[in-house]
Each structure stands twice: as structure tokens, then as C-alpha cells.
Amino acid sequence: MSRQVVLWRHGRTAWNVAGRVQGQSDIPLDEVGLEQAREAAARLATLRPDRIVSSDLVRAAETARVLGEPTSTRVELDPRVRELNFGGREGLTWSEAWARFPDGMQAWVEGDETQIPGSETHREAGERFAAALRDLLADLPSDGILVVVAHGAVLRTGICAFLDIPEAHWSSFGGLGNCSWSVLEEARHGSSARWRLTEWNAGTLPEPVLSDDV
């Protein structure tokens, strides 16, 4: 069996429902989010993960612990897989952000993500996540399964950065639904190995994505 990484987005929060950008703001799951985590964990537990690593933000950590309990797997918190920092946009809806930062938002939609105060770019977040994932894989057994519980934007960009997908194509990958997951699998051919994406946004029927990552 090949090594696998399950990249799992946290359950729903009240800010997801309200359309407020969360980023690194520490917002807990709502009741629906907890139920989403329980339902997804019942399926993911059958994989018997060797290791569960979560963002230290509470919405991800709560989701991870729902999987850690039935699998008797300790949840490790790692700030390197936190969500992208949206700076001054955090806590704002899309329309509120445009009202407060009209020039910065115009620059953002045109591809310049540096004009919102305190914000991190998608490239910076993706490379941060990819570097953390490479480090976490260093001691994963040859048939091991790692579950990483994180957030929509950093998972999407981190997966693309890890797979060396050119940034111009990152926007071709759709947002991840609450408590949906993507899967990376290591393919070995003799002495060489490479990682490939085998599932994207799995676990639910197609439905609207409530995410900062739009």
C-alpha cells in the first residue's frame, strides 16, 4: 500500500454562514459543523490513520478531535497549517471589505494581494503549507496514512504548491466544502516516487461552498 495524505477541511462555522472572512480569526464550529465533523469522521475512521495533524485554530482542532477519539489517535496541533491570513479583511463580508478597502480589493481581484493591510498572499500561504507537509511526511511509514485538518484556502493553495502546479492554474481548482477532503497518494516506480492527487473535495454531493476562498 502507498502512503496517503487526507487533507480535510473543518466543519461549518457561524462566520461561514454569514459570509464573513475568517482567515486566522479563531472562530468555533457551530452545531451543524460539529455534526458534519461527526459524519465525516465516521467514514474517515475506517482508514485508521497513523497520524492526525491539525491547524491550531479551534474550528480545525475541534474537527480533528472528533476523528481522534474513535481512532485513538492523538491530535497534534501545528500552526504552520493555519488558514491564510486575510489581514484587514477578517471579520468582514465581501461587500464590507469593498466598502472599507476599495482600492485594495480592486488590486486583489486584479491579482495584487499585497494591498490589504496585514494580509498574506495565496502563494505565501501555499508555500508555508507545502513546506510543513513535506516535513510531516519525513517520518511517515511506507504504508502510512496522515490526516491533516486545516482550512479551505490554505488547503487548496498548499496542495497545488506541494504538487508543483504552476500558480497560474491554481484558480482552476474549486473551493473545498466544509468537512470535505482531498487525497494525495504516493506513486512509486522502482527507486523513484511522486505524489499525485487522487480525490478532490470528496465526501459530499455537489453543494454551495461556504468559504473565504472564492
Q: Looking at the annotation, which residues are catalytic?
A: 10, 83
Q: Strand 181-189 vs strand 4-9: parallel, antiparallel, or unpaired?
A: antiparallel
**Residue 100, phi then psi, degrees to nearest 5:** -85, -35
- CA 162 from chain centre, in angstroms, equals 13
Contact yes or no for 23/162 (Cβ under 8 A): no
Q: What are the φ/ψ torsions at residue 122 (nearest 5 degrees)?
A: -60, -40
**Do 37 and 179 contact (CB within 8 A), yes or no?**
yes
Among 71, 38, 60, which Cα is nearest to 155's?
A: 60
One-letter amino acid of 71: T
C-alpha cell at 153: 484556502
- Name the E strands within 28-133: 51-54, 75-77
